[in-house]
Amino acid sequence: MIAVLYGVLILTGVIIGVTGLSDIVLYNIVDERLRIIKQQLAIKIKDPEQLNRAVEELKQELIRAYDLDKPWYARIPRIIYQIMVLDLGTSRSTLSFSGSNKVADIILERIPNTVLMVTTAVLISSLVGLVVGLWSATKVGSLLDRFTSLISAISYSLPTWWFGMVVILVFAYELRLFPSGGMTTPGLTITDPITRFLDLLWHLFLPVLTLFVALVGSWIYVTRSIVISITKEDFIVVGRAKGLPERVIRNRYLLRNSAPPILTNMILGLAGSITGAILTEAIFNWPGMGSLYYNAILSADINMILALTYIYTLVYVVARFILEVLYVVLDPRVRY
């Protein structure tokens, strides 16, 4: 697991280095700074030759400062090392809402926003999917089961961005029931916490609805197929033959054995939700982790990309670890 964590980080670093992205970005920074400095120096130094020499000197200095005189494989490891010890560095393109350009500050500010929207949606859709999928699996082939399967197939194939836009069109522009984006009403001056909370919920409704509709189908389907596959196991027939009440067969035989795979999906889903939902966040202008990553890539903010990749992998690895521990409790076949 640790290998995965560092492997992903190093791989991202290597990709950024090999493709020359890192060089290009850093040279751009150097050039931009030089241009500004040149203007300032031009006021003091009148002789053009002297000016050029001074600028050239500064340029070499900057190149050394950014380690551009060394190849990428000498430069990137330092960034990676810093990130490994959670010194995430500074962002070049984004500021936190309080004005800090430290990556750690920005991420810490964004995580609660994402948890509020994406994790809530994942939680609701997984719970609904669990109940509906289970119920559907006990009535395989019935009309209601086929109807649920149809609904979940539609939900599964629905593109989030399209559905999100439809939702905005209907609820925000036509019906004017909900805001079309953002987290708070701009210019809201009331500081009463209850009003602020209600305002937040009001803004939360549409994005959560969109994500819910897009996610719930796969949850229903996955749960349903896991439970159906366990239903076909011999020990279920044995349970029936033993004359045990249906309730006992369902709880002790069916659900108990379906729990590990279902839990795997849930925990990985919840963990994944912390990393945000790029499209939904973009459509609803939600300042979360997804849009942060998207912007970091657009502006080639290397520190930010590396830091976010690291955080994402970290979240995944921690979730996996929690799962491994849970397996020991849930499944007696797993021992360490």
Partner 1 sequence: MSLLDVKNLKIYYFTLKGVVRAVDDVSFNVREGEVLGIAGESGSGKSTLGYGLMRLVPPPGRIVGGNIVVSGRDIVSMDEGTLRREIRWKVISMIFQGALNALNPVYTIGKQLVEPIIFHEDVSLKEAYERAAEMVKLVGLNEDVLRRYPHELSGGMKQRVMIAMALILRPKIVIADEPTTALDVVIQAQIMNLFKKIKKELNQSIIFITHDLSLIAEIADNVAVMYAGKIVEYGNSDNVFNTPKHPYTQGLLKSIPRLKSKEKLSWIPGTPPDLRNPPVGCRFHPRCPYVMDVCRREEPPIKDVGGNHLVACWLY
Q: Which chain residues interact with partner 1 by CB under 8 A?
A: 233-235, 237-245, 248, 252-253, 256-257, 330-333
Q: What is the DSSP string of 318-333?
A: HHHHHHHHHHHHH-TT
- Which of 176, 333 has the CB closer to partner 1? 333
Nearest distance from C-beta of residue 244 to partner 1, angstroms = 6
Q: 181 phi and psi, to 5 degrees? A: 180, 180
Residue 281 makes CB contacts below 8 A (sequence gap 6+) with: 114, 117, 118, 207, 287, 288, 289, 290, 291, 294
Q: What dihedral do alpha carbons 43, 46, 52, 58 form, nearest 10°?
A: -40
Nearest distance from C-beta of residue 243 to partner 1, angstroms = 3
CB 14 within 8 Å of CB 71:
no
- Which of 60, 142 has the CB closer to partner 1? 142
Nearest distance from C-beta of residue 253 to partner 1, angstroms = 6
Nearest distance from C-beta of residue 161 to partner 1, angstroms = 41
- Which of 122, 230 has the CB closer to partner 1? 230
Q: How far, in whole angstroms, is CA 271 from its chain's centroid?
A: 8
Rounded-to-integer distance, Cα 23 and Cα 76, Å = 11
| Partners of 154 in beta bridges | none
- Which of 150, 248 has the CB closer to partner 1? 248
Angle between helices 120-137 and 143-157 (to 10 degrees): 150
- Which of 78, 256 has the CB closer to partner 1? 256
Nearest distance from C-beta of residue 238 to partner 1, angstroms = 5
- Which of 190, 238 has the CB closer to partner 1? 238
Nearest distance from C-beta of residue 267 to partner 1, angstroms = 19
Largest CA distance in the chain: 101
Rounded-to-integer distance, Cα 271 and Cα 319, Å = 6
